[in-house]
Amino acid sequence: MAEWSAAVAAASLVVLSIAMLVAVRGFMKRLGRFEQTIRSIEAEAVPLMREIRGLAAEASQVARRTGRQVERLDRLLEAARQWEGAVRRSASTVSRIAETVDRAAADHVERAIRSGRARIGETLDWAEFGWSVWKWWQAKRAEASNSGRTTDDMRDPE
């Protein structure tokens, strides 16, 4: 009976450890996918910025060639610059969000690990308690058999 209890305690410790590892691994995979998505968004923004700069350069050449359209082209260039600034600010914001999410995820993982350690410690304390009770019981049974009493005498009188 006591051996069975020790086996159950050991199995529960193993199951708890495996569950924690699976949870942490799944979380890390999700975090990796999120990070890849953010990086692909940033990578797509770079060619777009180059294209916008190229369009702005072409627009300025057209403005020099056509005197009548100068004012319209100046407005277009200003809008492109403002749009470029907005895109830069957006890219910066996305980058800050990614960093914040990375930090939050790391904090969450650390809390999960600490929580798991506390649960594992508690499980080990219970396992140690169970082992001590089992050893005590075995000592009482050995004492009873040495004094000539049977194990039936060790049962609860009720």
* 10 residue type, one letter: A
Indicate whether 116 belongs to any domain: yes
> How many structural domains compose the chain?
1
Q: Give the separation between CA 97 and CA 111, rounded to whole angstroms.
A: 21
Indicate whether 158 belongs to any domain: no
Mean pLDDT to the nearest integer, 81-90: 84
Mean pLDDT to the nearest integer, 94-105: 75
Q: Give residue 110's pLDDT.
A: 78
Indicate whether 63 belongs to any domain: yes
Q: Give the separation between CA 22 and CA 10, rounded to whole angstroms.
A: 18
**Domain extent for 31:** 2-133
**Which helix H or strand E contains 131, and what residues bound it?**
helix 70-146
Indicate whether 92 belongs to any domain: yes
Indicate whether 143 belongs to any domain: no
Q: Give the separation between CA 96 and CA 100, rounded to whole angstroms.
A: 6
Q: Give residue 65's pLDDT.
A: 76
Indicate whether 154 belongs to any domain: no
Indicate whether 89 belongs to any domain: yes
Burial pattern 105-126, b for ≥16 Cβ within 10 A else e, equals beeeeeeeeeebeeeeeebeee
Indicate whether 152 belongs to any domain: no
Please give the structure tokens belonging to residue 73: 């082209």
pLDDT digits (tens, 9 = 90+) for 16-45: 999 999 999 999 999 999 999 988 988 888
Distances (CA, A) of 119 to 11, 20, 57, 81, 112: 14, 10, 63, 56, 10
Q: What percent of the chain has pLDDT over 90?
A: 22
Distances (CA, A) of 19 to 22, 25, 75: 5, 10, 61
